[in-house]
Amino acid sequence: MPRKINVFIHRCQQVRITFVSQYIFADYPTSLGKNEQVHILYSLRCIIISMKQSFLMKRLISTEYFLASIVVAIFFVSFAGFDWWWLFIIFPIIDVSAFGYLQNSKVGAATYNIGHSLIGPTILVALYIFHGQEWELLVGMAWLFHIFVDRALGYGLKHTEGFHHTHLGKIGKAKKKSRR
């Protein structure tokens, strides 16, 4: 199959639309009747609309995470009373969880997902509520800020296929390859 058709099929799979591909990629498109041509045009229209919705949905989700990170940062500084620079000191520490990728992609995905799941910061903030230790709130809120910023930038939880395959879609090199 030509490369353009493979890319087209891949994009159709991304937006989760199924249709009868033999009509579109038939060797003799002139043998199609008027009804089949209308069906093909309608299917293509649905695909284009779904691709636009998919793009808009990704932008909406990214914006939500960005706004959530701003709310967490405001709470961190204003209500909790921590200095703003703690966010930037703790921020890169959470990415230590990505070192699992030095072994292989399965271990990397597992360690990255543990470090970037909302479960950890939720437990720390809950511990703060029950114990009142300030370090629990400090680390929990900074960790939550890190997760929200990562998700706003498109870095979601990882699949075992590799670092560039996330629950929010493909990123980096994998995204560029899927566009070709």
Residue-wise pLDDT for 63-118, tens only, equals 888 999 999 999 999 988 999 999 999 999 988 988 888 898 889 888 988 998 99
Helices (H), ranges, the chain = 3-14, 21-24, 34-74, 85-94, 105-115, 119-131, 134-152, 172-179
**Residue 150 and residue 129 share a domain:** yes
**Residue 47 and residue 66 share a domain:** no
pLDDT band with cut points at 50, 70 and 90 for residue 18: very low
Give the Cα separation of 45 and 171 in Å (integer). Answer: 26
**Residue 69 and residue 20 share a domain:** no
**Residue 139 and residue 95 share a domain:** yes
Q: Which pLDDT belongs to residue 173? A: 59
Range of the domain at 23: 3-51
Q: Which pLDDT belongs to residue 3? A: 54
**Residue 44 and residue 8 share a domain:** yes
**Residue 38 and residue 115 share a domain:** no
Give the Cα separation of 127 and 83 in Å (integer). Answer: 21
If one counts the domains in the chain, the total is: 2
Tell me the whole-structure pTM to 2 decimals. 0.66
Judged against a pLDDT cut of 90, whether residue 62 lies above it is answered with no
Give the Cα separation of 39 and 33 in Å (integer). Answer: 10
